[in-house]
Amino acid sequence: MATKVTPISGFQEWLPADRIAELVVLDTIREVFELHGFASINTRAMETVERLAGQGEDADKEIYGVRRLAAGPDDAGDTSMGLHFDLTVPFARYVLENSGKLTFPFRRYQIQPAWRGERPQRGRYREFIQADVDIIDVGSLPDHYEAELLLVVADVFSRLPIGEYHIHVNDRKICEGFYRGLGIEDVTGTLRIVDKLDKIGADGVRKLLLEAGCTEEQAKQCLALAEIRSNDTGFVDQVRALGVEHEMLDEGLAKLAGIIEVANEHAPGVAVADLRIARGLDYYTGTVYETMLVRDPGYGSICSGGRYDALASDGKRTFPGVGISIGVSRLLGKLITEEGLTASRETPVTVLVAVNDEDSRRDSMRVATALRARGIPTLVAPKAAKFGKQIQFADRRGIPFVWFTGADGDQVKDIRSGDQQPADAASWQPPADDLRPSLVLPETP
């Protein structure tokens, strides 16, 4: 009996060439993270719901609960587990469990799937890959790490064909200090409302602020702060011009100015001080980041994060940290699905070894073994068909070279140019650019 296949929205499943493109991106991210001194960890997919919940206004709504289908009425333990919706919360738990075995400051990177129970839509998925870097310490964390993480992301994106982008940076202490200077007591609630500015506009935010108890003047000032944006330290004078004073505001302005100065020295044109950025999760306490593609800012942030001072604590010690997360699936949804980025071939194979006839297949296998031993991805032709068909087999898959064995010596053919040369499996090497698939941008008309 035939079974109808029903697609499930909110999941990415790539065809082979696109999957290779995804792997090239992931390998690039991993390479850069390691170049900057981050060590890899892996955490479990599930956490307790108690730990996952309470990290933001909507965090509990996004949690996928996990329960065995065969669980009985007395088996309540399973219902208290949920799939993690980001990698920061499980990382904080990991640090607490392993603090006696870790060397601080601990620099970690983590590339894993996460799951969110939100409505799938453009750029948003039920299951998605994140690539995180965090630096965490015991007791206190120097501010210079907050600028360093921005530069790590800039290094990653400089190696990928993502186009022009900006990392928008703010410090929650600016907002909190400003609100307190205005006499607003519900700082967290005000942050959450202002964070909706891009979604509901200034009039919508103003209305919500008034409903939350702000005066007309306070709402006006909150919106004025949120409109300040600068690619240099000029934002400091713009905030001062609003006439609000508070010690925490001074601290936040100094920190953000330092980050922008460092960014402009090492990655000019990348960072933007944007005082509307707040981030929805409650655990952020200082610097926050969101990254937008210049050509499509409405697509939303492809990389975000921030500083958290109290997410991890064992009651005696606090482990403050700062982290930033690249939304790999979100980024590739734009580059691959919408803009046609793909890989140069649909297989990692560099060389197809032709088979003259089935009696000589072992000769072809020996060549393949020799090439693989030197790190050259190699495939033996599945059939001893006519050479034209074997070349066609390679061409359809983007395999650049076909190897021919013969009593008078072997030859290798570049099927793109037609060039054919004598070759020895013990020494032949393809051009470096052909050894592995590469990313290919769609042709522009």
- What does the pLDDT look like over 134-151, one tens digit per residue? 999 999 999 999 999 999
Confirm or deny that 314 is annotated as ligand binding. Answer: no
Q: Are 126 and 11 in contact, with CB atoms under 8 Å apart?
A: yes
Does residue 2 lie within any of the structural domains? no
- Hey, what amino acid is at 26? L
Is 284 flagged in the annotation as binding? yes
CATH of the domain at 187: 3.30.930.10
DSSP state of 294: T
Q: Could you list the residue range(s) of the whole structural domain that residue 134 is in?
A: 16-67+76-342
Q: Confirm whether 6 is domain-assigned.
A: no
Q: Where does a domain end: 342, 365, 389?
A: 342
The kind and range of the H/E element at 85 are none
| Residue 244, token pair as written in the block | 């609000």
CA distance 247 to 320: 21
Predicted confidence at residue 425, as pLDDT, reads 96
279 is in an annotated binding site: yes
What is the end-to-end Cα distance of the chain in Å, rounded?
47
pLDDT of amino acid 195: 83
- Residue 86 CA, chain-centre distance (Å), reads 11
**86/163 same-domain check:** yes
Residue that finishes a domain, picked among 294, 317, 342:
342
pLDDT score, position 312: 82
If asked whether residues 60 and 129 sit together in one domain, one would say yes
Task: Spell out the alpha helix ranges (H) of 227-309.
Answer: 235-240, 247-266
Q: What whole-number distance in Å separates Cα of residue 246 and Cα of residue 176?
A: 9
Q: Residue 134, annotated ligand binder?
A: yes
Same domain, 99 and 127: yes
Count the domains in the chain. Answer: 2
Looking at the DSSP bridge assignments, the partners of residue 165 are 293
- Does 116 belong to an annotated binding site? yes
Integer Cα distance of 44 and 91 in angstroms:
10
Q: What is the pLDDT of residue 2?
A: 67
Do 320 and 369 fall into the same domain?
Answer: no
Residue ranges of the chain with pLDDT lower than 50?
57
Same domain, 86 and 40: yes
Please indicate if the annotation marks 86 as binding a ligand.
Answer: yes
pLDDT in tens, 56-67: 545 566 888 888
What is the rounded distance in angstroms from the CA atom of residue 84 to the CA atom of residue 49?
A: 9
pTM score: 0.90
State the amino acid at position 115 in one-letter form.
Answer: W
Report whether 96 belongs to an annotated binding site: no
